[in-house]
A and B are shown apart, each in its own frame.
Chain A
Amino acid sequence: MARVVVDVMLKPEILDPQGQAVQRALPRLGFEGISDVRQGKRFELEVDGPVDEAVLARIHDLAESFLANTVIEDFTVKVESEEAVAGAAK
């Protein structure tokens, strides 16, 4: 089993009021020097069997058509190493 992670972020030119609200709370918490926060989504897909090129291509299609709306969002797809996944499960 392997884990594939899809990260989805609003495109840089799209206003992110959620991220701004988080950023504005930072000084109250004693965090200075953070000028901008943008909030995104992370999807962790547990894949049965090996993650080969064909599986990755299908996940890429899934991300492009469903997990992200490419009108407003960018996404990245990355495979977490199988050892890391096994380690995290312990």
Chain B
Amino acid sequence: MTARIGVVTFPGSLDDRDTQRAIRLAGAEPVALWHKDKNLHQVDAVVLCGGFSYGDYLRAGAIARFSPVMEPLIEQAKAGLPVLGICNGFQILTEAHLLPGAMLGNDHLHFICRDQKLRVENADTAWTTDYSAGQEIHIPLKNMDGRYVADERTLDELEAEGRVAFRYLARDGVANERGNPNGSLRDIAGITNEAGNVVGLMPHPEHAVEPLIGSGRTDGLPFFTSILKKLVNA
């Protein structure tokens, strides 16, 4: 039996179908979860996908964080359930304090949509073992509120503990303001919690899983094969 991976749909979610498709392509079984669900239907992992949940009113992810499905999710994530937050999902995870820091509007005030070069900094999380540390990948990025911020102490802690999972790179492979698409502190594109089961990032791996579409790369697929391997070997 293969792993069952839940994908939550909130009012305003956009990428739930693409995420389900990516999960299926990796060989796992996607399970649709609804924001009003009071339990997680015994899934083995959950993806919070991109979009504009509840219109992103108040702050991105702030209202979604209090929806019924989040109660069991927060509890089980703290107990080790693998959870991946992509874009709006990452914003929801920071609002729920499952990941430290917060997301703010892009420093240039524009919506951004481009193919983004990243460096995989941590290939030991539940969602990144099919990458190697230092590997450079291209993943589509599309958001308004992508600026990762946290206080200096938190940032130092994340760096020291290897919890920066992905960093934005310029085309020449250097992490600097040219590669940084939104003013995120220390070019941070994604982070992990201490245990490595909760990962959040702004770019969209579910949009880079088939050679036919997008950039023609499948650099996002290892997210989904990593978690599948972890779950079936567990």
Inter-chain residue pair count (beta carbon < 8 A): 34
> In this assembly, does A17 line the interface, its C-beta being within 8 Å of a C-beta of chain B?
yes
Q: How far is the CB of B149 from chain A (nearest CB, A)?
A: 6
**Contact yes or no, A15 B183, CB < 8 A:** yes
Q: How far is the CB of A25 from chain B (nearest CB, A)?
A: 13
| Cα–Cα distance between A10 and B149 once the two chains are bound (Å) | 12
| Cα–Cα distance between A48 and B95 once the two chains are bound (Å) | 29
| Cα–Cα distance between A10 and B84 once the two chains are bound (Å) | 28
> In this assembly, does A72 line the interface, its C-beta being within 8 Å of a C-beta of chain B?
yes
What are some 7 contacts across the A-B interface (CB < 8 A)? A14-B104, A15-B104, A17-B106, A17-B108, A18-B105, A71-B102, A72-B149
Q: How far is the CB of A55 from chain B (nearest CB, A)?
A: 21
Which residues on the B side are within 8 Å of A21 (C-beta)?
109
| Cα–Cα distance between A15 and B93 once the two chains are bound (Å) | 22
> In this assembly, does B162 line the interface, its C-beta being within 8 Å of a C-beta of chain A?
no
| Cα–Cα distance between A73 and B105 once the two chains are bound (Å) | 14
Question: Which of B102, B105, B147 contacts A69, CB < 8 Å?
Answer: B102
Which residues on the B side are within 8 Å of A69 (C-beta)?
59, 62, 95, 102
Q: How far is the CB of B200 from chain A (nearest CB, A)?
A: 14
Q: Give A1-47 interface residues, CB cut-off 8 Å to B.
A: 10, 13-15, 17-18, 21
Name A11's closest neighbour in chain B (CB-CB): B151
- A69-B102, A71-B150, A72-B102 are known contacts. Are A17 and B109 too (CB-CB below 8 A)? yes
> In this assembly, does B58 line the interface, its C-beta being within 8 Å of a C-beta of chain A?
yes
| Cα–Cα distance between A14 and B148 once the two chains are bound (Å) | 11
Which residues on the A side are within 8 Å of B147 (C-beta)?
15
Which residues on the A side are within 8 Å of B62 (C-beta)?
66, 69
> In this assembly, does A67 line the interface, its C-beta being within 8 Å of a C-beta of chain B?
yes
Name B108's closest neighbour in chain A (CB-CB): A17
Q: How far is the CB of B93 from chain A (nearest CB, A)?
A: 13
